[in-house]
Structure 1
Amino acid sequence: MRIGFVGGGKVATAFGRYLHAHGLAVSNYYDRHEDKLSHACRLTGAHPCQSAAEVAKMSDMVLITTRDDQIEGVCRDLADHGVIRKDHLVGHMSGAHPSLILHDAARQGAAIFSLHPLQAFAEEEKALADLPGTYFSIEGTDPRLASVEEIMAKTGNRFFRLLPEHKRLYHLSACIFSNYLVTLMACGLEALSHSGIHPEDGFPAMMPLIQGTIDNIARLGPPKSLTGPIARGDVTTIEAHLTAMADPSLASLRQFYAFMGLKTLDLAIEDVLQDPLKANALKKVLEMG
C-alpha cells in the first residue's frame, strides 16, 4: 500500500513520519510550498511530486491534507484530470467534514473516507510524540475501508467507525472537549485575576484541582465527579458568587457563570443532588443570573 499526501503541513508530516516509523510506505508528497515539501519528504523518505495529480498516479491511497476549504476542490481537480482509479482509496484528515465532500472521487469508483486523529497538531514534534496514544475516527461506508483499519492495526492505534451523517456531531464534541475547555480555563483565570491573584501564579495553583477533576471524570464519570456548592445544593454560596460579580464590568462573566451553573445543576440532579427543594431554589437563583 503506497500512501501519498496532497498537502505537507503539520498533520500530513507528523502522520507521515508516524506511518514511516511503523514500516508503512509513504510514497510521495505534494505541497506548493517548497520548504514544507522538502521537509516532509526528508523525514519520511518520500518522493517529492510536482502536482497533486502526480501523487495520485504514484499512490494507492491518496490523503488530501490541505486546508479544510480546499479539500473538495483538490479532489475535483484530481477527478477532472482522470488520475483517480477504481482501486484508489481517497481520504482526508479533517475532523469537520464527512467523506462525502470527496464525491468526485467516488464517482470514479474510488473508496472514499475520512481519517481523523483526536489530538491537536499545534506543533509537529509534540503531535508526533502524542500519536501512539491517539484515538482515530474512520468515517465512510465502503467495504474497502478495511485497508484503513489494517493501517491502524499496524500502528496499534485504537479507532472509532463513524457514519457520514454522524461526522459533524463527532467533531462538535471534540471542539467542546478541546476548544471550549480552553475558554473555560480562560474564564476561571479572569475571575481569579479579579481576586488579586495573577494568572501566572493562579494557574499552577489550580492545576492539582484541574487534574484531580479530570482524573475523577475518567474514573467515575461526570455526575459522580461533581463537588462544590451546586452538588451540595448550597444556595447561599451561589448567591454570594453572583453578588461578587455585580460590577457591570463582570456582566459577561456573571452570565457565563449562571449558564454553566444551570448545566451543572442538570448534571447534579442526575446523581449527587437528590433534594428537589434545593434543586428548585438553585435553579431560580441561577435563572435570575
Structure 2
Amino acid sequence: MTGMEEPGRKVAVIGAGKVGTAMASALSSAGYRLVGVSDRDPDARHNAASLLDMEPYADSPEAARSADIVLITTPDGAIEETCREVSASIDVRGKRFIHMSGALSLDALAAAARGGADILCVHPLQTFADLTGALESLPGSTFGVTCDRGLEGWAHGFVSDIGGRLLLVDDSDKAAYHAAAVMACNLMTMVQHGAQSVCGELGFTDSEARKAFMPLVRATVENIARLGPTDALTGPLARGDIDTISSHLQALDRIDPDLSSMYRAISLWGLRLVTERGELNEYEIEDMRKLLED
C-alpha cells in the first residue's frame, strides 16, 4: 500500500465464512486495506487469507488490533462473545465495529461501545448459498443499516463504496425487518420445494421440476418488481375460480396434508391482495375464504 492510503480504511474480518469473505472481497475492490482475518477453523481463515491476500490470525483480538473497521461475520450466536473477547483484549477506542446479522440488535456489540468504539449493523439483503454466489451478488445489494444518527453519513459512504444501497432500520425493528427478509427469500424457497415435492409424486425428477418452474418463477419475480405484488397476482385466487381451488386442495390433501395447509394459509393471505384489486365482489371473496378455512 502506498503512503497515500486514506485514513480509517483498514479492515479486519472475524469470521471467514461466505458473508465475511464476500464482504472483504468487495471492500478490497473498493480500495479498503485488509489487515487480517480470523476464524476458529484454520482451513477457513487460511483459505480466505489466500483468496484475499491478507494475514490469517488464530487470535481474533490480534486480527483486529491494527484495524480501523472490525467486521464480525461469525454465526449470530458467536457475535456477542467475539465482541467481548476483542474488546477485553485490545484498545478499541476509535474503531468501528460492524456485525452483519439481520436479526441481532446493536446490543450484540455493547462491549465495544463501552470500550469507546462506534458500533453499527450492516446487513446485506441478499442470499448466499455458496461462496461463488456470494462474491458475485453482494456488491450492489441493499444493506439494512442500524446505527446512531451521527454515523449515518459514514454508513452511507461505506455501503456506497461497494455499490450498495442503504436502508436505515431502527434497532427496535430488527426482528420484524429480518422476518420480512426471510419471507421474501427463505419462505419462497420452501414454497418451491413444496411445488417440487408435488411434481415428485407425479413422477417427475427434481431436475425436471426445477427446469419446468424456473421460467415461471423468474417471470413472476419480474412482474412483482415491475408491478408490485398486488397487480402481479394471477391464477385462480385472482380470478375467483373456486372450483379450481377446491380441486387443488383435494389433490394436495391426498399427496400431503401439510402441503394443503401451506396452500390454504398462503391463499388466505392472498385474499388481501384480491380485495385490494377490487375486481371480485365481497361474496366471491367470502366463498373462497370459507373454502380455505374449512
Asked if 2 retains the 8 angstrom alpha-carbon contact of 1:90 and 1:102, the reply is: yes
Secondary structure of residue in 2 paired with 1:132: coil
Match of 2:177 among 170, 180, 196: 170
Matched, 1:268 2:278: no
Matched, 1:62 2:70: yes
Structure 1, residues 132-171: CA drift from partner, whole Å, max 9, x if none? 3311121111513533322222222112111111111111
Aligned-pair identity in percent equals: 33
Letter in 2 for 1:114: C
With normalisation by structure 1, the TM-score equals: 0.92
CA distance in 2, matches of 1:253, 1:273: 28
Secondary structure of residue in 2 paired with 1:58: coil
Q: CA deviation at 1:32?
A: 2.8
CA distance in 1, matches of 2:206, 2:50: 41
Match of 1:97 among 101, 104, 125: 104
Match of 2:144 among 122, 137, 146: 137
2:196 alignment counterpart: 189
2:289 alignment counterpart: 283
Q: CA deviation at 1:199?
A: 3.4
Q: CA deviation at 1:192?
A: 2.5
Asked if 2 retains the 8 angstrom alpha-carbon contact of 1:6 and 1:30, the reply is: yes
Asked if 1 retains the 8 angstrom alpha-carbon contact of 2:146 and 2:170, the reply is: yes
**Counterpart mapping for 1:151-162 below 5 A:** 151-162=158-169
1:84 alignment counterpart: 92
Q: CA deviation at 1:272?
A: 4.9
Q: CA deviation at 1:219?
A: 0.7
Q: CA deviation at 1:236?
A: 1.6
Q: For residues 158 and 245 of structure 1, do their structure 2 counterparts lie closer, same or farther at Cα, with a shift above 3 Å needed?
A: closer
Q: CA deviation at 1:124?
A: 1.4
Structure 1, residues 82-107: CA drift from partner, whole Å, max 9, x if none? 4321x111111112212221111111
Q: CA deviation at 1:35?
A: 2.2
Asked if 1 retains the 8 angstrom alpha-carbon contact of 2:14 and 2:73, the reply is: yes
Greater mean deviation of Cα atoms: 279-288 or 237-246: 237-246
2:215 alignment counterpart: 208
Secondary structure of residue in 1 paired with 2:177: helix
Secondary structure of residue in 1 paired with 2:98: strand
Query: What RMSD over aligned residues (CA atoms) do the two structures have, in Å?
Result: 1.8
Q: For residues 282 and 32 of structure 1, do their structure 2 counterparts lie closer, same or farther at Cα, with a shift above 3 Å needed?
A: closer
Q: CA deviation at 1:258?
A: 1.6
Q: For residues 268 and 44 of structure 1, do their structure 2 counterparts lie closer, same or farther at Cα, with a shift above 3 Å needed?
A: same
- Paired residues, number: 286
Unaligned runs of 5+ in 2: 1-8
Asked if 1 retains the 8 angstrom alpha-carbon contact of 2:69 and 2:96, the reply is: yes
2:4 alignment counterpart: none
